[in-house]
Amino acid sequence: MRPFEDVVAEHGPVVLRVCRAVVGPVDAEDAWSETFLSALRAYPDLPADANVEAWLVTIAHRRALDVGRANSRRAVPTGTVPDSPAVRGDPADRHPDLWAALESLPTKQRQAVAYHHIAGLPFAEIAGLLGNSPDAARRACADGLSRLRSIYREEPLP
Compute the distance between CA of residue 151 and CA of residue 67 in angstroms, rounded to an integer: 27
Using DSSP's 3-state secondary structure scheme, residue 102 falls into helix
Domains and CATH numbers, the chain: 2-74+95-149 (1.20.140)
Q: What are phi and psi of 132, to 5 degrees?
A: -140, -170
Q: What is the pLDDT along the chain (158 residues), one digit of tens a residue?
A: 789 999 999 999 999 999 988 888 888 898 999 999 999 999 999 998 999 999 999 999 889 888 877 776 666 666 776 565 544 555 556 666 777 788 888 989 999 998 888 888 889 989 988 899 999 999 999 999 988 888 766 544 44
Compute the distance between CA of residue 92 and CA of residue 37 in angstroms, rounded to an integer: 24
Compute the distance between CA of residue 50 and CA of residue 42 in angstroms, rounded to an integer: 12
Is 87:21 a contact under the CB 8 Å cutoff? Answer: no
The residues, ordered by sequence, that sit 6+ positions from 108 with a Cβ below 8 Å of its Cβ are 130, 132, 140
Compute the distance between CA of residue 144 and CA of residue 107 in angstroms, rounded to an integer: 10
Model-level pTM? Answer: 0.55
Which residue in 13, 24, 51, 29 sits closest to 111, CA to CA? 24
